[in-house]
C-alpha cells in the first residue's frame, strides 16, 4: 500500500514532530510512504525534510508561493497521478484545500484529513462553507483528541461518522542520568534555581502574555521561554528581569529537563504535544483548562488546570508547585506513568494503520 502525506511546513512544531514519529512507524508496518512538503521558497523546511530522509522516508518538496497559488492544484494533481497512491493523507489547511481535490482528481482510493488544531478561523462562516465543500473529498477525518473530534463535528459540521479520534503518542526517550545538569548548564541556570518553563511558538494562541502577567507576582523563580514567533519583541518588552527568552532551539525537548514546572497557558490547543514531552521528563504541568489539555493533564494528580486567560489563577497554581517541590516531583512521576500507559506511540501508529486498512481505528 502506497500512502502519500501532504502538509505545508515552515518549521518543526507539533504537527511536524507528530509526522516525524508517525511516518517511520507506518513504514515499519510495510507501507510505502511518500511525504509531499508544501514549502515556501523563502522559508525552506530543511530541518523537517532532513529528519525524515534520515529515517528513510521519501520526501518531495513542492513550492507554495502564496496562500492562493494558482499553479499548485495542477502541480499536486500531476505528482499524485505519477505516484498513484492508494491513500492520500493531508495535514493542516493548505494541504486540505489543495491536496484533497487533487487526490480526488488523481483517483486516490482513500482520502484522509488529519485535524491538528481547533483554530479560531475555523469558526468563520465563509471558511466553514469552503471547508465543508473540500471535506466532501474525504473518507475519514482523524482528530488528535476527543475535544477536537467534537469540534470537527459540532463547529465544522463534518459528519461525526467520518471522524475518528487518535491522540498523539510518544515513546519516552532514554535520557542520560545527568540530563538535568546538562540542560541547566546549557541554559546558564544555577543548580539550585527554581525554574518555570514554556516551550512553543510565540503567538497569541499560546498565551505567553498571560504567563508573563502571572509570573510577575512570583518571587524567587526563573522563567525560561523556549521558542520564537511574531510576538517575541512585544513579549520581551513586557517581561521582568527574571524571564529569559532563549529563542528557537532544536534541542528544546532535552532542555526541558532544566525545568521544575512546565506552563501551558494556551487559549486553545488541538492537543499539546509539549505536555507529553514534559511528562517524559517527569515534570508536572500547569495548563489552561481548554480544548484537549484536560484529556492529558489530570488536575491535582499530574499537574494543575486553571481557567484560560486568568493570570491570577495561573500564578496561584504555579506558586503551589514552586513552593512545594516534593509535590511537584510526585505529580511529575504520575505524569510519566500516565504518558507510558495512555499515550503510546505504537498505539497511535497502529490506529492510523487501522484507518488505512478500513478497520475501526478508534482509540
The answer to whether residue 232 is domain-embedded is yes
The answer to whether residue 361 is domain-embedded is no
pLDDT of residue 29: 95
Of 132, 91, 83, nearest to 111 by C-alpha is: 91
- How does residue 353 score in pLDDT terms, banded at 50, 70 and 90? very high
The answer to whether residue 225 is domain-embedded is yes
The string of pLDDT tens digits covering residues 89-146 is 999 999 999 999 999 999 999 999 999 988 889 999 999 999 999 999 999 999 999 9
The answer to whether residue 284 is domain-embedded is yes
Tell whether 219 and 112 lie within a shared domain: no
pLDDT of residue 213: 96
Tell whether 71 and 210 lie within a shared domain: no
Q: How far apart are the first and last CA of the chain?
A: 23
Cβ-proximal residues to 344 (8 Å cutoff; 6+ apart), any chain: 169, 171
Asked whether residue 361 carries a pLDDT value surpassing 70, the answer given is no
The string of pLDDT tens digits covering residues 166-199 is 999 999 999 999 999 999 999 999 999 999 999 9
Tell whether 100 and 187 lie within a shared domain: no
Cβ-proximal residues to 188 (8 Å cutoff; 6+ apart), any chain: none
The string of pLDDT tens digits covering residues 191-242 is 999 999 999 999 999 999 999 999 998 988 999 999 999 999 999 999 999 9
Tell whether 45 and 106 lie within a shared domain: yes
What are the backbone angles phi and psi of residue 89, rounded to the nearest 5°? -125, 115
pLDDT of residue 217: 82
Dist CA 329 CA 326 (whole Å): 5
Cβ-proximal residues to 202 (8 Å cutoff; 6+ apart), any chain: 208, 225, 227, 228, 229, 230, 231, 232, 235
The answer to whether residue 299 is domain-embedded is yes
The string of pLDDT tens digits covering residues 60-71 is 999 999 999 999
Dihedral sign, Cα of residue 202, residue 204, residue 210, residue 216: positive
- How does residue 363 score in pLDDT terms, banded at 50, 70 and 90? very low
Are 127 and 121 within 8 A, CB to CB? yes
Please report, for residues 190, 210, 242, 283, the alpha-carbon distance to residue 220 in angstroms, rounded to integers and kept in the order given: 13, 19, 9, 19
Looking at every residue in the chain, the average pLDDT score rounds to 94
The string of pLDDT tens digits covering residues 289-331 is 998 999 999 999 999 999 999 999 999 999 999 999 999 999 9
pLDDT of residue 270: 85
Are 139 and 162 within 8 A, CB to CB? yes
Find where cell 513579549 sits.
Answer: 235
How much is the CA Rg of the chain, to the nearest whole Å? 21
Q: Could you tell me how many residues make up the chain?
A: 363
The answer to whether residue 67 is domain-embedded is yes
Tell whether 208 and 246 lie within a shared domain: yes
What are the backbone angles phi and psi of residue 222, rounded to the nearest 5°? -105, 140
Tell whether 303 and 252 lie within a shared domain: yes
Tell whether 56 and 137 lie within a shared domain: yes
What are the backbone angles phi and psi of residue 137, rounded to the nearest 5°? -85, 0
Are 292 and 270 within 8 A, CB to CB? yes
Asked whether residue 360 carries a pLDDT value surpassing 70, the answer given is no
Tell whether 135 and 185 lie within a shared domain: no
Dist CA 351 CA 357 (whole Å): 10
Give the domain CATH number at 57.
3.40.50.2000
Tell whether 70 and 214 lie within a shared domain: no
The answer to whether residue 317 is domain-embedded is yes
- Please indicate whether residue 9 or residue 117 has the higher confidence score (pLDDT): 9
Dist CA 49 CA 59 (whole Å): 7
3-state secondary structure of 182: helix
- Catalogue the E-assigned strands of 50-123: 58-63, 87-91, 110-115
What is the domain range of residue 48? 2-169+344-356
The string of pLDDT tens digits covering residues 13-32 is 888 999 999 999 999 999 99
How many structural domains comprise the chain?
Answer: 2
Tell whether 183 and 312 lie within a shared domain: yes
pLDDT of residue 359: 52
Cβ-proximal residues to 309 (8 Å cutoff; 6+ apart), any chain: 207, 210, 267, 288
The answer to whether residue 362 is domain-embedded is no
Tell whether 312 and 195 lie within a shared domain: yes
Tell whether 349 and 336 lie within a shared domain: no
Are 5 and 36 within 8 A, CB to CB? yes
- How does residue 332 score in pLDDT terms, banded at 50, 70 and 90? very high
Amino acid at each position: 500500500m502506497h500512502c502519500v502525506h501532504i502538509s505545508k511546513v515552515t518549521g518543526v512544531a507539533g504537527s511536524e514532530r507528530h509526522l516525524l514519529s508517525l511516518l517511520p512507524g507506518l513504514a515499519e508496518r510495510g507501507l510505502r510512504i511518500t511525504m509531499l512538503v508544501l514549502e515556501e521558497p523563502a522559508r525552506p523546511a530543511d530541518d523537517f525534510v532532513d529528519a525524515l530522509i534520515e529515517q528513510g522516508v521519501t520526501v518531495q518538496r513542492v513550492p507554495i508561493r502564496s496562500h492562493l497559488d494558482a499553479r499548485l492544484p495542477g502541480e499536486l494533481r500531476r505528482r499524485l497521478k505519477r505516484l498513484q497512491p492508494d491513500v492520500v493523507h493531508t495535514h493542516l489547511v493548505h494541504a486540505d484545500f489543495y491536496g484533497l481535490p487533487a487526490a480526488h482528481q488523481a483517483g486516490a482510493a482513500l482520502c484522509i484529513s488529519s485535524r491538528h488544531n481547533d483554530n479560531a478561523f475555523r469558526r468563520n462562516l465563509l471558511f466553514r462553507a469552503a471547508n465543508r465543500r473540500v471535506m466532501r473529498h474525504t473518507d475519514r477525518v482523524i482528530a488528535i483528541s476527543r475535544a477536537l473530534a467534537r469540534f470537527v463535528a459540532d463547529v465544522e459540521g463534518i459528519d461525526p461518522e467520518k471522524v475518528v479520534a487518535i491522540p498523539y503518542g510518544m515513546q519516552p526517550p532514554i535520557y542520560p542520568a545527568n540530563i538535568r545538569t546538562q540542560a541547566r548548564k546549557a541554559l546558564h541556570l544555577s543548580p539550585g534555581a527554581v525554574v518555570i518553563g514554556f516551550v512553543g511558538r510565540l503567538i497569541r494562541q499560546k498565551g505567553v502574555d498571560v504567563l508573563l502577567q502571572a509570573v510577575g507576582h512570583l518571587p524567587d523563580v526563573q522563567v525560561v521561554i523556549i521558542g520564537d514567533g511574531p510576538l517575541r519583541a512585544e513579549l520581551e518588552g513586557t517581561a521582568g528581569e527574571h524571564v529569559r527568552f532563549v529563542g528557537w532551539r532544536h534541542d528544546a525537548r532535552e532542555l526541558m529537563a532544566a525545568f521544575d514546572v512546565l506552563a501551558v497557558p494556551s487559549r486553545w490547543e488541538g492537543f499539546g504535544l509539549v505536555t507529553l514531552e514534559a511528562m517524559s521528563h517527569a515534570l508536572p504541568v500547569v495548563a489552561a483548562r481548554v480544548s484537549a489539555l484536560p484529556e492529558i493533564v489530570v488536575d491535582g494528580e499530574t499537574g494543575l488546570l486553571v481557567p484560560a486567560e486568568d493570570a491570577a489563577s495561573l500564578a496561584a497554581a504555579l506558586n503551589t508547585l514552586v513552593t512545594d517541590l516534593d509535590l511537584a516531583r510526585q505529580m511529575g512521576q504520575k505524569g510519566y506513568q500516565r504518558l507510558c500507559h495512555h499515550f503510546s506511540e505504537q498505539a497511535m501508529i497502529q490506529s492510523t494503520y487501522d484507518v488505512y486498512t478500513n478497520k475501526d481505528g478508534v482509540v
